Every structure is written in structure tokens, then in C-alpha cells.
Chains A and B, each alone.
Chain A
């Protein structure tokens, strides 16, 4: 045993190994962030909806319904005004007949940066992801509807009855999105299943996720014939959403509430005060 001489060199070697491992780990983490890994990502998903382009065709509403397995509800539920819309088309009527103007406002979840809904959930069924998506874990939801009342935009829906689809539509259910049960809250997720698929595709092709990959990614954006909906990373100054968000036409709903919505609307005319 040559303990006296071996120990100092062993310690030095050990320290060097530890330092090297730590450096490699931190580099690895940074690398993962750059190539679109979930952890440590600096992305902030957002959406820009150009109301001046929107024709009110409701293509986004239908596409969202098909993509996200939004239940039909049936006649009874619809008559009770309980239909579910992750993407809803609101209308604002201005003026009086014959000088009547109708503004269409497609309304997905605003995915607020400071969402009032997640603070009130007693079981943590809703949370904000690292990339800014306000997500809902359907299987964790106990259906207290606190989030539904807390959302100032009323963008959360509740399954008042067992979700149902007509027989023909059952075959079209999207396997990427879980169907919900009676008694849970559901909402827009910015089509996170599509984002995940796009990330996997980019990773398989060994390239970073680009703005072109995601710009028309959510079902609503993909289906819009007027190209009124853009999606992307608000933290990337070069992305289309960032560019559009800097437009003087940009506005967010109920900004004074401090919720910081990540859905930005573009509109030329001044909004009705």
C-alpha cells in the first residue's frame, strides 16, 4: 500500500472528475434547452389572431372540436346552452340596423402568464407549463368549477353530462387527445399534442424546432382560410407572433386585470370603450 503518495493524486483526480462531470451536465442541459427539450426551455407559446382578417367562418371552431375530441353534447345539452367550445366564436354587434357592424372574435383560452384559474384549483389539476401553456389534467380534476368562476374570460367548460358523440363521429376520435369524463373541467391546450409531435419530428430529424414548424400548428391556426391565426414563441423576437405582437394594432383582452394573456388580437379600429 503506497498510501502517502497515492492519496493526494487520487483526491486531485477525483476533484477533476467531479468538475468535469458538472461542466458536462450543465452543458448538456443548455444543449437540451436549445434543441427544444421540455426542461429549462425558454419558450413562451403565444397566439396572434388578426380580427381584421377574420371572416367569421368558424373553421377554427370546427377544427378545434375535431382535433380535441370536444363532445357534441347532443340536443338536450345544447338546448340547455351547455355546449362546449375550446375555441368559441364571439360576436360583438356595433351600431344599429341598417348601420350594423358585427365583429367576430375567435376566443381560445388566453393562456395567461398570471392565470387566476390555477391559483384556485384545490387539487392542482390545472397548472402552467414551463412553456406557458395553462394545462388541465382531466383525470385529476374533481369538478369544483372554481377555475370556471375565476377565469375572467369564461374560457373553461364543464362536462355537465356524460360526453357523447354521434355514432358516425365516434370513429373520428383523435387518439392523441384523451376524452373526458362527466364532471370535469376542460379547456384549450394550444393543441399541446401537436407541439409535442412537432418537437419529436424535429428531434428525429436532428434539427431545432423552427418558427415555420409551429406557426400554423394548432388546429385552429391550421384551418383558418384567411390566415388570421398565428402561433409561436413570444420569447423569440424573430418569430411571426412576436413580430405581429409588436404591431400597433395589437391588444389583449382585459389587460387591466393583470392576467397577461398570451393571446394577442390585432384590430385596426379602436375598440369600443
Chain B
């Protein structure tokens, strides 16, 4: 990805880059589209709050979960959201270490996406608890109980993985924002904006010593964040892989989950980037080359996921384990078979179109495929969680899971929460890193 067309439109200068990006927040009127989008997202967030309040009042009996399917939407959504976050970290940390300059136009909002996705993910394990008020028992703190968390449980590892991920993502995002916040402070016309951005910029003056410290800190944070791209979803996959249920108990899960996470994450970046660049006229900064590169990563990780599907079926057959075989056949022709085949269609077939450069350059097609991938990855988690649980080892304890209106309301609500935060971010913070893109400007001779 080193050579090829320029990363940003060659006509941009240092001044126009800053103007273009800062005008979204500082000078332009709030577009009607933003107001409509934000209202819809806020409405969904209110739905989320209603669903959560009802849940706290009535207990998780309002959801469709039951014995034997004691895990439902909460776990599916948790895995889906946390997976989406992974693309942001990959773009900001791994691509930084690999000196991929094209990342500089997309890393800022991808990092914001990570942060909000992790936030949406983190609420689910809490809501999932039968007694959410005692969630803090999962943390090792000096308590009068004298009972520490049980460290053999992957759920405790999850707490550490997600908490670390959120903290590092937040730090990384905020440190990256500092020079741009200072630019906003200096460019803002209104006093309140000057004060707020001034406080947030933490006294950044852009001196050589500031930049020196900044570069060191940013590189260190990138180094810290890099293993998280692999470790967080590995730990999430352990939730399933360490149990003995057929369909969960497999060594394949960690790489399969990590690839799936990056895959769905890039799909989300595309789903966000495509309308954003159109709405704010940023086609010169988020160029076809960006879209092409992201599509390529999506194709690569998607093929790893597809390999996972094939291997799951192969293991089920080759192991000779009756329970595994039954699980696989049930997955293909059982009550949740539509979810399985829809996943194969979205994740297995639709992305094959990305082999063709023509498709990768076709923006609407790319948007459509990315949406299908997001749906496909959600359905994948759906069938992984449900098909293993609803047909347990003993036929006497088989059951079904049907999501209730509250399951859907909570899920839709987190989508609303995600977009509410994203709309606020677009409105009040630079959605593209100005100082990093300025470095991409071709010197005029």
C-alpha cells in the first residue's frame, strides 16, 4: 500500500487542510442532516434508557433468556460491539507503527468509533447480570467479604481486557487530539469555545519540546495499544472457548474472533466514512485510496473468518465427536439455520466481490457490502451463542430463545447511544486529525 495514488488530493495546502476540517466545527452552520441524524440517535438513546430502567426495575426476566439459553442478546451485542472497536485501534496503533501514512485521514474518527463502541459493549455485561448492583465484585478491591474475584473465570479476564482497552483507547484518542484542540482554541471566535478548547488543550503551544514529548508519548501509547488489538478479542473468545459446550470448545476461536473483530470494525469505519466524506465534502481527504485500502483489509480479514467457518465444519466432521457433529448439522438445518446461512451469504459470499478493483472503487457498492458485513458479523455471534446453548448435551433440557421487545430495544438503544456520541463528536471535535494531515500535504515548489 506504499505506492499508488496520493493519500490526499494534491491541491490541498497546509492552510486549506486546517480550514476544511475546522470549519465543520467552528464556522459552518449545523447542517440539517446533522440535526435530523442526532435527533433520531437521541430518540434511540432514550429508548435505551427506558429499556435499562425497566430492566433494573423488573429484572432480566423481561428478556427472552431462559434455561438452557441463559445467555442471549446481551452477550451477542457485547461481542459485536467490542469487535467493532478493533478497527480503530488497528488503524491508530498498528498502522502507525508500520508507518502507513494513509491512516492519518481516518484514524481520528476511527478512534472515536472505538471508544464509543467499547462503551456500548461495556454496558452489556453489566446489564446482563442478574444483580447488576454488585458488578463491582468483579474487581479485585480490598473488601470485607474477604473473597477475591475468581481468576480462573474468563469473565474476570474480560473485565481487565475491556477496562484496559477502554483506558488505553481513551488516552490514545485524547493525546492525539491535543494539538488539534490547541488549533481550535486559537481559531475559535466565541469566548466559550476558546475557554473550553483551551482547557482541553492542556496548555499545548506547539513548541519543539511539546512535539518531542508528544511523539514519544504517542509512540509509547501505540506500543501499548498494539497488543490489545489481538488480546481483547482473544479474551472475549475465551468466554466461549474455555467451556465444554460443542461449538464453543475450540482452539480456533481466538484467531477467528480477532479476525472477525477487525473485519466488522473496518466495515463500520467504511459505513461511517462514506456518508461523512460526502456530507462534509471531505472526498479530497478521505480519498478512493483510503476506501480501497480498507476494502482490502476487510477482504483479508473476512477470508480468515470464512476459513474459520470452513474449519468449524471440518472439525465437527473430522473429530468424530457426536455432539460436535450434531451441533454443526443443527446449525445448518436447525431452527436457527436462517441466521447461519444469512451469515454465510453476508460474510462468505458478499465480500468476494471485493476481489475486483472496480467494486472497491464503487462507493455505493462498498457501503452496501460494509453494511452486509456488519449484519453478517452480528448474525455470526447470534448463531454461535444460540445454537450451542439451545441444544444442550441432554435432549431433555433443550429449549428455544426468542428475543423480546426489550432485547431489541436495548440493542437498538446502544446503536442510538453510539450514534449520539458520534454526532456530538463530529459537531464539537475535529473528525480528521488536522496536524497529521498537514504533514501529508505535498510541498509546493
Interface positions of A (Cβ within 8 A of B): 77, 80-82, 90-92, 105, 107, 116, 119-124, 140-146, 148-150, 152-154, 156-162, 181-185, 253-254, 257
Contacts and interface: CB of A to CB of B under 8 A. Distances in A.
20 contacts: A77-B61, A82-B66, A90-B397, A116-B243, A119-B152, A122-B149, A142-B130, A142-B134, A142-B135, A145-B65, A149-B243, A152-B244, A152-B393, A154-B392, A154-B397, A158-B70, A160-B59, A160-B61, A160-B66, A254-B394
Interface residues of B, number: 43
A183 B127 CA distance: 11
B67 A121 contact: no
Interface of B: 58-61, 65-68, 70-71, 125, 128-131, 134-135, 137-138, 145, 147-150, 152-156, 159, 239, 242-245, 389, 392-397, 399
A92 B154 CA distance: 35
Given A148-B67, A182-B130, A142 B138 contact: yes
Contacts of A153: 393-394, 397
A103 to B, nearest CB: 10
B67 A82 contact: yes
Contact of B150 (A122, A158, A162): A122
Contacts, number: 132
Contacts of B68: 148-149, 154
The B interface, classified by DSSP as helix, strand, loop or mixed, is loop
A157 B150 contact: no
B399 A150 contact: no
B130 A183 contact: yes
A90 B396 contact: yes
A158 B152 CA distance: 22
Contact of A143 (B130, B148, B392, B397): B130
B149 to A, nearest CB: 6
Given A82-B61, A123-B149, A158-B70, A142 B396 contact: no
Given A124-B149, A142-B137, 16 more contacts: A82-B66, A90-B396, A92-B395, A120-B242, A124-B147, A142-B129, A143-B131, A144-B125, A146-B153, A146-B155, A149-B71, A152-B392, A152-B394, A161-B59, A183-B131, A184-B131
Given A116-B244, A183-B129, A140 B147 contact: yes
Contacts of B155: 120, 122, 144, 146
Contact of B153 (A105, A122, A182): A122
A140 B147 CA distance: 9
Contacts of A150: 243-245
